[in-house]
Chain A
């Protein structure tokens, strides 16, 4: 099956700093989503981005499907950005389920 690798596994930032999270995947995909999991476990859907670039406030994402990677940019980070960020993909041969990476744990310090 498709392998999803996220980097870095852990990231500590000072409030106000910018960061880039990376997601590499091993095969072509027809769906890629970025999620933020808050301390209560809730998965917040950040982007549905199988290709191209999208922006939502301080967050933006770019997926280069031909090169099998996606990037999540967080600008002017805030303490509320802390949590785990997951990249998840769906391959063409799947039943529609997403395969998750191991996540990047982000800690933003005041």
Chain B
């Protein structure tokens, strides 16, 4: 149980375009979802926290207008990277939880902006 599906696993886009990443909890309802970013050979850094039906909370230094997060239901959160630039190339991972329980992670999305 507790499966988190993230799609796509890999995407290559041109500079200036937007990319949407989906994160779904398949067999549980996620009250909260988290989006992390990981640069090569570094650790995971929290970008934002999203709760169903409310605005996401962004970590300091993360541009909310660039990284749009929508948590429309208890099983789906999306991250849209708008007007992507090469420096946005990274590994993005979502996670979900039902509350005070273990976090379950998707398999990540490797974004390459050319």
Residues of A near any B CB (own CB < 8 A): 30-31, 33, 35, 40-43, 45, 48, 86, 88, 90, 95-103
Contact = CB atoms under 8 A, between A and B. Distances in A.
- Interface size on B, as a range, is 20 to 34
A86 B44 contact: yes
Contacts of B5: none
Contacts of B107: 40-42
Interface stretch (B19-27, B68-76, B79-87, B95-103): B95-103
Given A95-B57, A97-B49, A103-B43, A45 B32 contact: no
Interface centre among B32, B102, B108 (most CB of A within 10 A): B102
Interface string B90-114: 0101010101101111011010000
A95 B102 contact: no
18 contacts: A31-B102, A33-B102, A33-B103, A41-B110, A45-B102, A88-B44, A90-B103, A95-B32, A96-B97, A96-B103, A97-B46, A97-B49, A97-B103, A98-B95, A98-B103, A99-B46, A100-B45, A103-B43
A18 B112 CA distance: 38
A109 B103 CA distance: 31
Interface centre among B43, B107, B108 (most CB of A within 10 A): B43
Contacts of A41: 38, 91, 93, 107-108, 110
A96 B99 contact: yes
Nearest to B57: A95
Nearest to A99: B46
Given A41-B108, A41-B110, A42-B107, A96 B102 contact: no
B46 to A, nearest CB: 5
Contact of A96 (B93, B100, B108): B100
Contacts of A88: 44, 103
B34 interface: yes
Interface centre among B32, B44, B49, B97 (most CB of A within 10 A): B44
